[in-house]
Amino acid sequence: MAETQSVTENTEVSEKQDDPMKNYEFDGQTYIYTDKATKITYRFDQENNKWIVKEDDKESSCNKQSSDRKEKEENSVPEVSAEAGAFGFENDTHTYTDPSDGSVYFWDKEKNAWFPKVDQDFMARYQMSYGFTDISAPQPNSPEPNQLTSPQRAKEEKEQRRTEAKRKAQEPPTWFEVDEAHNTAIYVSGLPLDITMDQLTELFTKCGLIARDERGKDKIKLYRDGNGEPKGDALCTYIKVESVDLALKILDGSQIRGKTLSVQRAKFQMKGEYDPALKPKKKKKDKERQKKMQEKLFDWRPERMRGEPLKCERIVIIKNLFTPQDFDREVQLLLEYQQDIRSECLKCGDVRKVVIYDRHPEGVAQVTFREPAEAQACVQLLNGRWFSQRKISAEIWDGKTRYKITETDEEIEARLNKWDAYLEQEDERKEQETKSSNTEQKASQ
């Protein structure tokens, strides 16, 4: 009988030791622990890493222990019978050992709750119950604590930025200097009051090329007072930074009509709060046009030698070839005229391009040759000849007259429709020719 009783006790002890987590439950999100002594259920808060009283047990536990809670918060711990577990004292803190699995808990006076003591024994029991984690496997990167932004923290940061913006807006406008490597503007004072813009341009051009705005005007500003009279100072913006250095060496200290000039790098003052959204955005087309304008200013080419032919002398203008109505009736005539003119002009030399101005009332065609001598030969060949019952004229282009006629949208649409109809007819004609040729081949076989 004694042996049976001892076997039963050993079995119960072994079952308790084999199942250390039987007092814990997992509700799908976190762990739930019920203290047998106080019958209070705790829930593990993963965000704050602590045990807290479960919501449904808060009211019952608060009502039951409201009378003596103040005394327990200071130095006391929950009353638990000696049979439930073993109490101890470690590092100025009360400890409690759960007899079921041997887990050790310590009492937090500030948070008024029991917390499990995480040591090697606790980790060993945890791994025996839930398995081991392979530390060699790549783990997902978790954000660092300082990178975690809660809605409240984001709101506080937004308020701080708004306060900082208000503070800067209330500050008086200050002067700021642009980096010397990018500052291409100079400020000149001590100018004669009767100086003109032409005289300023001539003065500043001595040191380099002056930048131009979108309208093509030089970036020179002569400051005036409230009555519109010059104040004796001006601002000039160059294209290159080197022009600023040259102006500081040449113009600074020089004299004009008894006035001594003072030249320095321009400084700029910010007026009000800077808002990049209010800054006018330059279109890509405007930027490219301004870039080409600057490149044209720096473009240097030697003067044309005496007797050297102009570019326009390679172009021949042929007139009275057709009327615009001819192409309205038959669209295919455009290609025929172009091919006929090219084949005829090839007798005079290398033809680079043939353009038919089909909307011009004088029936104009433009032929471009490689050499001016070839264009002269074409004029001698075609001028005064008859073409399609018309007497044509040929001459060298003057380089100024434009022969392209601007059409309205309705005229362009009508012409394109006729061209589409012509292409469809051509496709049908080719299909019929292909069918007829196939029929002839079958008949011959």
Assigned domain for 349 exists = yes
Same domain, 25 and 126: yes
Assigned domain for 425 exists = no
276 torsion bin: left (phi>0), alpha (psi -120 to 50), beta (else): alpha
**410 against 374, higher pLDDT:** 374
Report the number of distinct structural domains present in the chain.
3
For residue 174, is pLDDT > 60?
no
249-302 confidence digits (pLDDT tens): 999 999 988 899 999 998 876 555 555 555 566 667 777 777 777 777 666 666
CB-based contacts of 38, cutoff 8 Å, min separation 6: 61, 78, 79, 80
For residue 150, is pLDDT > 70?
no
Same domain, 323 and 265: no
Q: Distance between CA 307 and CA 369 in Å, rounded?
A: 19
Distances (CA, A) of 385 to 44, 325, 338, 366, 390: 106, 22, 17, 16, 8
Assigned domain for 209 exists = yes
Q: Distance between CA 214 and CA 285 in Å, rounded?
A: 11
280 torsion bin: left (phi>0), alpha (psi -120 to 50), beta (else): beta
Q: Sorting pLDDT into bands at 50, 70 and 90, what band is 435?
A: confident
Same domain, 26 and 104: yes
For residue 399, is pLDDT > 70?
yes
Check which CATH number belongs to the domain holding 362 and give it.
Answer: 3.30.70.330
CB-based contacts of 403, cutoff 8 Å, min separation 6: 317, 357, 360, 364, 366
**94 against 227, higher pLDDT:** 227
Q: Distance between CA 92 and CA 71 in Å, rounded?
A: 18
**Are 331 and 373 contacting, i.e. CB atoms less than 8 angstroms apart?**
no
302 torsion bin: left (phi>0), alpha (psi -120 to 50), beta (else): beta
CB-based contacts of 112, cutoff 8 Å, min separation 6: 72, 73
Three-state secondary structure call for residue 286:
helix
Q: Distance between CA 344 and CA 66 in Å, rounded?
A: 115
Same domain, 267 and 334: no
97-108 confidence digits (pLDDT tens): 877 777 778 788
| One-letter amino acid of 246 | L
Assigned domain for 25 exists = yes
Point out the domain boundary residue: 223, 255, 271. 271
Predicted pLDDT at 169: 65
DSSP letters for 159-192: HHHHHHHHHHHHSPP-EE---TTT--EEEEE---
Same domain, 120 and 190: no
Same domain, 184 and 256: yes
Assigned domain for 14 exists = no
Assigned domain for 163 exists = no
- Which among 335, 341, 350, 340 is positioned nearest to 317, based on CA atoms? 341
Percent of the chain at pLDDT exceeding 90: 24
Chain-centre distance of CA 374, in angstroms? 53
**Are 356 and 338 contacting, i.e. CB atoms less than 8 angstroms apart?**
yes
Point out the domain boundary residue: 239, 271, 303. 271
Same domain, 266 and 326: no
Express the helix, strand and coil content of the chain in percent, nearest 5 each.
Answer: 40, 20, 40
pTM, two decimal places: 0.33
Same domain, 123 and 185: no
414-434 confidence digits (pLDDT tens): 777 877 887 888 888 888 888
Predicted pLDDT at 269: 64
- Please give the mean pLDDT across all residues of the chain: 76
Predicted pLDDT at 262: 93
Predicted pLDDT at 282: 64
Most confident of 31-45, 102-116, 303-317, 388-402: 388-402
Assigned domain for 251 exists = yes
Same domain, 238 and 318: no
Phi, psi (degrees; rounded to nearest 5) at 149: -115, 115
Point out the domain boundary residue: 222, 256, 271. 271
Most confident of 84-98, 128-142, 348-362: 348-362
Same domain, 180 and 241: yes
Query: What H or E segment, with its residue span, contains residue 322?
Result: none
Same domain, 267 and 324: no
Q: What is the mean pLDDT of residues 74-95?
A: 59
Predicted pLDDT at 308: 67
Assigned domain for 378 exists = yes
Same domain, 24 and 108: yes
Cα four-point dihedral sign 202, 208, 213, 214:
positive
Residue 259 belongs to domain spanning: 176-271
For residue 411, is pLDDT > 60?
yes
